[in-house]
Amino acid sequence: MRIFEDINPLQAFLRSKKANQENIGFVPTMGALHQGHISLINASKVENDITICSIYVNPEQFSNPTDLVKYPRLLQEDIKMLEAASCDVLFCPSDKVMYPERPKLKIDFGFLETTMEGKFRQGHFTGVAIIVSKLFHIVNPDRVYFGQKDLQQFLIVKQINNELSFNLQLQCVPIVREQDGLAMSSRNSRLDKKERLTAAQLYQSLTIGKQNLLVTENVFDTKNKMAHYLSAFNDIRVEYIEIVDAADLNVVNDITQHEQVALCIAAYVGNVRLIDNILLFNID
Ligand code: PAF
């Protein structure tokens, strides 16, 4: 695997690949890789000649400074995992390379920013949009791979892709779960043993919600059932439970009026904030 820390040598390398008509799949990450990330690498390898992964813990998207400090940084382990997955290129820039100056830009995403994660993480999506746009310019990929766990992030990136004419093919790859259903996340490593066991209840509440919603078609009752289920666990503090249209996050009242519906949750398990979601129809 070729590893680049600077932009110019990376771009020279990628230009030479493009000149050979090789297409480029891109997996942007913040490292602390797990099988969820590897599923994105695998998806890219199927569809592209060259797969590039970036690892950069983007300070601009952290609204909570403690979260940034505590974010796991495991570059050597990550490199081993990427090599085992036959990733072709790793881009792991420093803060200086990515931000010679702190960005001043603020982006207003309208409704998408006022709901779910946007409500609880001020400035988060502007930070995501800036780093993703910079990476898109630097890498100039054909296809980019994101995980469904961050559904709202995927929709934000879709909006940037359309409105800023990046014209990239964006792929949303299904969530990879631990055996007990917990969605894989770099944050899971911060859970202690007891919290780790409890964390699986988030997925449990989503499956209870999905079954209830399919049977009753009652959104209000479903959200209540999920909240009631989780209230039995002292370590869990729910921030939101939302049942939304998966294409735009608009609140769903009548599930029969939507092509795809997502049940979404954000909750603290101990001091670790986790998010998860499940799709109502077919796929999950
Ligand atoms: O999903 C992530 O890991 C990050 O938000 C991303 C897309 C790499 C931007 O920093």
How remote is the CA of residue 123 from the centroid of ligand 1, in Å?
A: 14
Nearest CA to ligand 1 atom 1: 29
Q: Which atom of ligand 1 is nearest to the CA of 54?
A: 8
Report the C-alpha gap between 71 and 184 in whole angstroms.
15
Nearest CA to ligand 1 atom 3: 29
The DSSP secondary-structure symbol of 174 reads P
Question: Can you tell me the mean pLDDT for 196-201?
Answer: 98
CATH of domain 2-173: 3.40.50.620
How remote is the CA of residue 213 from the centroid of ligand 1, in Å?
A: 31
Question: Can you tell me the mean pLDDT for 246-268?
Answer: 97
Six token digits for residue 153: 């992030």
Q: Which atom of ligand 1 is nearest to the CA of 30?
A: 3
Question: Can you tell me the mean pLDDT for 205-225?
Answer: 98
Topology annotation, domain 186-276 = Pantoate--beta-alanine Ligase; Chain: A,domain 2 (3.30.1300)
Question: Can you tell me the mean pLDDT for 218-242?
Answer: 98
| Ligand 1 binding residues, C-beta < 6 A | 28-30, 58, 61, 128, 131-132, 150, 153
Residue 101: CA count within 13 A, CB half-sphere: 3
Task: Specify the pairing of strand 89-91 against strand 143-147.
Answer: unpaired
Question: Can you tell me the mean pLDDT for 92-96?
Answer: 98
Percent of the chain beyond pLDDT 70? 99
The pLDDT of residue 282 is 77
283 pLDDT higher than 80: no
The DSSP secondary-structure symbol of 84 reads H
The pLDDT of residue 284 is 47
How remote is the CA of residue 21 from the centroid of ligand 1, in Å?
A: 28
Nearest CA to ligand 1 atom 2: 29
Q: Which atom of ligand 1 is nearest to the CA of 57?
A: 10
User: In this predicted model, what pLDDT tens digit does every residue of 34-77 receive, in sequence order?
Assistant: 999 999 999 999 999 999 999 999 999 998 899 899 999 999 99
With beta carbons less than 8 A apart as the criterion, state whether 211 and 57 touch.
Answer: no
Domain ranges of the chain: 2-173, 186-276
Catalytic residue among 34, 37, 124, 258: 37
The structure's pTM equals 0.96
Sign of torsion over alpha carbons 136, 139, 143, 147: negative
Q: Does residue 37 carry a catalytic annotation?
A: yes
How remote is the CA of residue 138 from the centroid of ligand 1, in Å?
A: 15
Length in residues, the chain: 284
CA distances, 209 to each of 88, 154, 275 (Å): 40, 23, 15
